[in-house]
Amino acid sequence: MIARSILITGASSGIGRALALAYAAPGVRLALLGRDASRLAAVAEAARAKGAVVEAGTVDVRDRLAMASWIEAADIFQPFDLAIANAGITTGLAPGALTEDPEAVRAILATNLVGVLNTAEPLIAPMCARGTGQLAFVGSLAGLHGLPYSPAYCVTKAGVHAYAESLRGRLEPQGVLVSLIIAGFVKTPLNDSIDAMKPGEITDAEAAALIKRGLSKGKATIAFPWFLYVLTRLGRLLPARVYDRIMAGVTVTVPGTQERIGPENI
Ligand SMILES: NC(=O)c1ccc[n+]([C@@H]2O[C@H](COP(=O)([O-])OP(=O)(O)OC[C@H]3O[C@@H](n4cnc5c(N)ncnc54)[C@H](OP(=O)(O)O)[C@@H]3O)[C@@H](O)[C@H]2O)c1
């Protein structure tokens, strides 16, 4: 089923922007959330040019009450049949550092984990009452196994995976599909900030096409690229210290929180 009324968070950039453009078509209503008003307006305009009806909201996913009030009003106006909790940031250990900046850790937990709860919670009861709908969560290969260079990011994505898996068992008997997207490297501003080998990297438009196809089939898990997904899953079967030794040989630099907009600018 191709969704017709869709909420996308983090639609002002990268994967969220590409998803908005992939879904934009006549007869489709898009509710797009982000914080950077000018980038979000540009995406909304491009989606309208493809025939979609678009509402754009500059709401911070960390703000539970603002998220609930925006999403509930938009859902009453026209019920969502798909919501994609995509907004996220990254952070990592500075070279030589033993711990991440505590502020950056709190910021990423609030955005990547609490922000996902703030997106899904307002829609769970209405979708269940309607007996239809789909909730999609953007996770990461980094959610499958802890990585020594970005502990907090891995925590948030593992949390998103566990949340999606938990909701699936509870909501699917009520008619609401739950899909977890386990993304590998996708060329976006977030990904550009990471200095590493990026096997299997794809463009944001390619990622959006894979996600859209998987969601239309109602897949529980949409993982790409398949070879990194399989390798990471197999890695979990290795003895922990063997896995650690392999990872110690991989050089990755992830800078501190990649916030492109501060709360004072919201
Ligand atoms: N790119 C990859 O390789 C990759 C791999 C695996 C998973 N992912 C996941 O994919 C998702 C999208 O990332 P991306 O690569 O497309 O990054 P991106 O281009 O940096 O886009 C991130 C989006 O999240 C929004 N966002 C960040 N903090 C927010 C907040 N507090 N409130 C509202 N919106 C906020 C940004 O909006 P503003 O800029 O307007 O604030 C932006 O639209 C993230 O969850 C990321 O973890 C990405």
What's at 148, amino acid-wise?
A: P
**Percentage with pLDDT > 70 across the chain:** 95
- Can you give the pTM of this predicted structure? 0.95
CA angle 47, 53, 57 (to 5 degrees): 80
Q: DSSP characters for 69-125?
A: HHHHHHHHHS--SEEEE-------PPTT-SS--HHHHHHHIIIIIIHHHHHHHHHHH
Atom of ligand 1 nearest to the CA of 194: 3
Assess if CATH 3.30.70.980 describes domain 5-259: no
85, two tokens? 């909790």
Reported as a single tens digit per residue, the pLDDT across 70-119 is 999 999 999 999 999 999 999 888 778 889 999 999 999 999 999 999 99
The Å distance, Cα 198 to ligand 1 centre, comes to 18
Query: Cα–chain-centroid distance for residue 74?
Result: 20
pLDDT at residue number 265: 38
Cβ contact 223:182 at 8 Å: yes
Residue of minimum CA distance from atom 28 in ligand 1: 88
Atom of ligand 1 nearest to the CA of 40: 40
Classify 183 as helix, strand or coil.
Answer: strand
Residues known to be catalytic:
153
Residue 266 has pLDDT above 80, yes or no: no
Phi, psi (5° rounding) for residue 94?
-65, 150
Provide mean pLDDT across the span 28-37.
97
pLDDT at residue number 95: 74
Residues comprising the chain, all counted:
266
**Residue 135: strand pairing partners:** 83, 178
Q: How many Cβ atoms from other residues are within 10 Å of residue 232's Cβ?
A: 17
The Å distance, Cα 248 to ligand 1 centre, comes to 27
Atom of ligand 1 nearest to the CA of 112: 45
pLDDT at residue number 258: 59
Pocket of ligand 1 (CB under 6 A): 9-16, 34-36, 39, 60-62, 86-89, 111, 115, 138, 140, 183, 185-186, 188-191, 260-261
| Range with the poorest average pLDDT among 36-40, 190-194, 227-231 | 190-194
Sign of the Cα pseudo-torsion (187, 188, 191, 195, in order) = positive
The Å distance, Cα 240 to ligand 1 centre, comes to 30
The Å distance, Cα 258 to ligand 1 centre, comes to 9
What's at 152, amino acid-wise?
A: A
